[in-house]
């Protein structure tokens, strides 16, 4: 491999050390430069390659030699910043284990809702041994977004007996599918076209007692509308692994909505070894002028 300028690493401190170790194990000749606010323009200017999940504000405009941005996250919207020069290629890591992990999270939360576990947990708290009728109609699931993650969710839920219907933006209007879905799972990329898609009108279109599972981005959901829909009983609740503001502040009203389960963006993460292997393979393609694996269409946003 020919000598390259250091690779700029945009990772949270907890993620940076295992990634640096995984890349060193696979390509010891590569030099990594973890980003810090103290780095000045002279150090940043030679950067040709960025590996990360989000640009700090103003950074992309300070990288005049940038050629390639490799996203270690499935969602790339935080890298497609306005000051990213038009010619810079963007691609992403696609980790099948991450898709499986997310599908497991969705299966867990969908089954918890469909099998009325919160009801039995409440009964246990008051020592009630009471059987409730099961509603078979709870098994219709709309999966919004049919990329690697959406398809894996569909595969796992299908195997569990849920009737899964996929939806993509090109499938056309969403309302009819929402009206026929007891559970809606959001696995869409966040783009200007999908931001705020899950709003009061979407929740009103769902059958009363419906349930939302969001493993994509908080920006897809108008959270005030979701809270109103749950408090009014239109929705039974929601499982939100992602929220508009992460980390969620203490004062966020979502914390205390009965029926809403919050997890801190843990549905699944890519493994450092997979990120390292795909990044190194992508770098070789870049150096040889070959097509990058898993390219991102910057216009579409995914």
The residue ranges that bind ligand OXD (CB under 6 A) are: 73-75, 269-270
Shortest approach of ligand OXD to residue 228 CB, angstroms?
26
Residue closer to ligand OXD (CB basis): 76 or 110: 76
Closest CB to ligand OXD among residues 74, 185: 74
Question: 265 catalytic, yes or no?
Answer: yes
- Among residues 67, 112, 169, 265, the one annotated as catalytic is 265
Nearer to ligand OXD, 138 or 217 (CB): 217
Beta partners for 142? 165, 184
Asked if residues 243 and 222 have their Cβ atoms less than 8 Å apart, the reply is no
State the nearest-atom distance from the C-beta of 99 to ligand OXD, in Å: 10
- Does residue 195 carry a catalytic annotation? no
- Interatomic CA distance for residues 88 and 243, integer angstroms: 29
**Which residue's CB is nearer to ligand OXD, number 188 or number 205?**
188
Q: Could you tell me which residues are beta bridge partners of residue 185?
A: 143, 213
**Catalytic residue among 115, 121, 208, 246, which?**
246
- Which of 92, 113, 138, 217 is flagged as catalytic? 217
Shortest Cβ 72–ligand OXD spacing (Å): 7
Q: In what order do the strands lie in the sheet with 68-71?
A: 32-34, 7-10, 49-52, 68-71, 89-92
Whether 220 is catalytic is: no
Residue closer to ligand OXD (CB basis): 53 or 203: 53
| Number of residues assigned to the chain | 302
Own/partner pairs, 298-302, CB within 8 angstroms, 24+ separation: 298/80, 298/84, 298/90, 300/191, 301/76, 301/77, 301/80, 301/189, 301/190, 301/191, 301/192, 301/193, 302/75, 302/76, 302/147, 302/189, 302/191
- Rounded to a whole number of angstroms, the minimum distance from the CB of residue 147 to ligand OXD is 11
Identity of the residue, 48 or 223, whose beta carbon is nearer to ligand OXD in the bound complex = 223
Smallest separation (angstroms) from ligand OXD to the CB of 116? 29
Minimum CB separation of residue 110 from ligand OXD in Å reads 19
Question: Which positions are catalytic?
Answer: 217, 246, 265
């Amino acid at each position: 491999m020919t000598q390259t300028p250091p690779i700029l690493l945009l990772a949270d401190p907890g993620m940076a050390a295992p990634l640096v170790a995984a890349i060193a194990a696979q390509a010891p000749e590569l030099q990594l430069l973890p980003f810090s606010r103290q780095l000045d323009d002279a150090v940043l200017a030679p950067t040709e390659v960025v590996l990360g999940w989000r640009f700090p504000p103003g950074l992309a405009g300070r990288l005049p030699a940038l050629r390639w941005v490799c996203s270690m996250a499935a969602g790339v919207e935080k890298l497609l910043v306005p000051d990213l020069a038009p010619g810079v290629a963007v691609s992403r890591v696609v980790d099948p284990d991450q898709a499986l992990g997310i599908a497991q999270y969705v299966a867990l939360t969908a089954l918890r809702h469909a099998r009325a576990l919160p009801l039995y947990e409440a009964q246990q708290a008051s020592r009630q041994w009471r059987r409730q009728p099961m509603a078979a109609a709870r098994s219709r699931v709309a999966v919004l977004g049919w990329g690697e993650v959406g398809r894996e969710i569909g595969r796992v839920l299908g195997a569990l007996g849920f009737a899964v219907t996929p939806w993509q933006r090109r499938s056309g209007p969403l309302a009819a599918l929402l009206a026929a879905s007891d559970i809606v799972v959001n696995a869409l990329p966040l783009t200007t076209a999908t931001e705020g898609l899950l709003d009061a009108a979407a929740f009103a279109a769902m059958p009363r007692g419906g349930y939302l599972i969001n493993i994509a981005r908080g920006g897809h959901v108008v959270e005030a509308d979701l809270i109103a829909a749950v408090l009014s009983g239109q929705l039974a609740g929601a499982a939100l692994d992602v929220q508009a503001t992460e980390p969620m502040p203490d004062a966020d009203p979502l914390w205390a909505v009965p029926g809403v389960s919050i997890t801190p963006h843990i549905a699944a993460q890519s493994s450092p070894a997979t990120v390292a292997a795909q990044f190194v393979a992508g770098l070789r393609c870049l150096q040889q002028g070959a097509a990058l694996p898993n390219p991102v269409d910057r216009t579409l946003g995914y």
